[in-house]
Amino acid sequence: MLILLVILPLAFIIQNALMAGSNITLKQLSSILGVSISTISKALNDSHEISDVTKKRIVQMAKLHNYQPNKIAVGLKSGKTNTIAVVIPSVQNSFFARALYGIESLISETNFNIIVCLTKESHAKEVETFNMLSNGVVDGFIVAVSEETQNLQNYDHFNNVLDNGKSVVMFDRVIDSVNCGKVTTNDFTALSEATQTLISSERKNIVLLTTIYKLNVGKQRAQGYIKAMNAAGFQPVILESDDQQAGSVMVDYLKSNPVDAIIALDTDASLSALKAVKVSGLQIPTDVAVIGYVSERMAHNLTPELTTINQHSYTIGNAAAQMITEALRTKSKEIKQIVVSSTLSVRYSSLWVLTSIAPTIFSYHHFYYLCISEYAKA
């Protein structure tokens, strides 16, 4: 399986892929063998129109000169490349890096290749990627929609490739109005249940901190929090900020407002929340419980270890790859949607709430881990 990470202009890559090649061309083979290019092509494709003797001669000469057909050029001609574009905002984000690993793990077991393209949250880059690669370079797309595309609500590039018969599977960041396969997580329910967990442990002043409030996933998570707070008769408080100012926004709020729990909706907000509580002279989890979104590895390495809502990004990526490869193999037009349930991984930052964990999202593995840890400390 070939994996190509696109960091150069797409036009440059495609042009050079078409020009690049093998040690010898079909035209050169034709001159050496004294037969037409058409005859060589048919022989290499085991056509019944060519005699076995001629086939053998051509195949031997092709091997001798290390002839390899240009896969992209062949794909442009046949309309099938066995290549899938994975279009994501970034690989620095741990969620997308893990999802990409899930995609690659499944694709590596098939005869498909992937091209990884980074949009850097740009609508223009996303549109350029779809326009360039849909012209016979790839058979389909796995995509997490960029922030700018969601803000502009311009989805023509998705609909155009779908109208042209390409397969598209969106994951995590999806657009409901685009009629394609989707793999998502239960963001609304996960936040509602996480908030209920805090409320059940007598936390009342629960603040939501977010730097992804413009994204659909951020909006869904916020709505889940609002639902749980309203149901308990508590006032929802949502602090929206960019990733640079989230810490200071949280510190300023802590100075003049009672807070006994924080739910942070993304990695930047999670790290900012932990730092803000410490800077404010408060103790975690005694004074303020914190639940956030970071990778499992990062959560274990933080001080204190952070309770997280685990989205299972590897599983999401794997499911997206399974969906598109199945669609391409079977040529199915069925529109499928998969929801991967998040789980609450409880660690020290919200340890005070252990006695009333919501069973639907609690990870018993982490319950056992925490019980053993606390017993060892005693």
pLDDT band, very low/low/confident/very high, at 3 (cuts 50, 70, 90):
low
* Cβ neighbours for 196, distance < 8 A, ≥ 6 positions apart: 228, 232, 358
Asked if residue 210 and residue 138 are part of one domain, the reply reads: no
Asked if residue 369 and residue 333 are part of one domain, the reply reads: no
CA separation, residue 88 to residues 118, 224, 310, 325 (Å): 5, 25, 20, 18
Asked if residue 241 and residue 360 are part of one domain, the reply reads: yes
Asked if residue 300 and residue 275 are part of one domain, the reply reads: yes
- The number of distinct structural domains making up the chain is 2
pLDDT in tens, 259-304: 999 999 999 999 999 999 999 999 999 999 999 999 999 999 999 9
Asked if residue 361 and residue 259 are part of one domain, the reply reads: yes
* Residue 176 neighbours by CB distance under 10 Å: 9
Q: What percent of the chain has pLDDT over 70?
A: 84
Give the DSSP letter of residue 362.
Answer: B
Conformational region of residue 34, where left means phi above 0, alpha means psi within -120 to 50, and beta covers everything else: left
Asked if residue 360 and residue 319 are part of one domain, the reply reads: no
Asked if residue 267 and residue 165 are part of one domain, the reply reads: no
- The DSSP annotation for 242-263 comes to -TTTHHHHHHHHHHHS--SEEE
* pLDDT at site 244: 94
| Residue 178 placed within a domain | no
Range of the domain at 304: 187-310+346-377
Check residues 359 and 222 and name the one with the higher pLDDT.
222
Find the length of the chain. 378
| Amino acid letter, 243 | D
Nearest to 198 by CA among 222, 221, 220, 225: 225
* pLDDT at site 44: 84
Kindly report the average pLDDT of the chain as a whole number: 87
Backbone angles phi, psi at 53, to 5 degrees: -65, -45
In terms of average pLDDT, the best of 61-75, 194-208, 352-366 is 194-208
pLDDT in tens, 58-74: 999 988 888 877 665 66
How far apart are the two ends of the chain, measured CA to CA in Å? 52
The number of angstroms, rounded, from the C-alpha of 225 to the middle of its chain's C-alpha atoms is 23
Asked if residue 372 and residue 267 are part of one domain, the reply reads: yes
C-alpha–C-alpha distance, residues 249 and 252, integer Å: 5
Asked if residue 229 and residue 373 are part of one domain, the reply reads: yes
Strand pairing class (237-240; 289-292): unpaired
Helices 94-107, 313-330: axis angle to 10 degrees equals: 40
Q: What is the CATH number of the domain that holds 94?
A: 3.40.50.2300
| Residue 250 placed within a domain | yes
C-alpha–C-alpha distance, residues 301 and 241, integer Å: 25
| Residue 3 placed within a domain | no
* Cβ neighbours for 260, distance < 8 A, ≥ 6 positions apart: 203, 204, 205, 206, 287, 288, 289
Check whether 17 has a pLDDT greater than 50.
no
